[in-house]
Amino acid sequence: MTTQPSDAHRAVTITRTSPGKFRATNARGGTFDFGSGGDDQFTPVEIMLAAIAGCTGIDVDIFTARRSEPTRFEVTAEGDKLRDEQGNHMGPIDITFRVEFPEGADGDAAREILPESIRKSHERLCTVSRTVMLPTEVTSHQAE
């Protein structure tokens, strides 16, 4: 059994700000607003996609930027929202990296490690995508 570090617990609280609009607050006091999709604010599904792309992007950036600063670094997460006998859920999610590095030895080193960095993030490191991929219990209840 692996011992969890003391900072393993994560929590986010959302507060309704108006009909269909909410504000998320983390333990450090950071906030962002989101909504149900009637305007340009992110929806919860888009936030999940951003979290997957962001998590794996951070992993890959850590590995590759040690060798060279990218000249382009974009990660796209996309998939179709499905409504079927299993209820509402996302179908397969595709993560696409568009990363470029400058010419030269450092850029070559970063390009060389890029595929392995993407693989390591996908298979082991990105907490968000790993959580989505693994059977992860989610419970909902009303506070007493």
pLDDT in tens, 63-114: 999 999 999 999 999 999 999 999 999 999 999 999 999 999 999 999 999 9
Instruction: Check residue 1 and give its pLDDT.
Output: 54
pLDDT in tens, 6-25: 689 999 999 999 999 999 99
Given a contact cutoff of 8 angstroms between Cβ atoms, the answer to whether 95 and 117 are in contact is no
Residues 6+ apart with CB under 8 A from 101: 64, 67, 68, 69, 70, 71, 107, 108, 110, 111
| Domains delineated in the chain | 12-42 (no CATH), 44-133 (3.30.300.20)
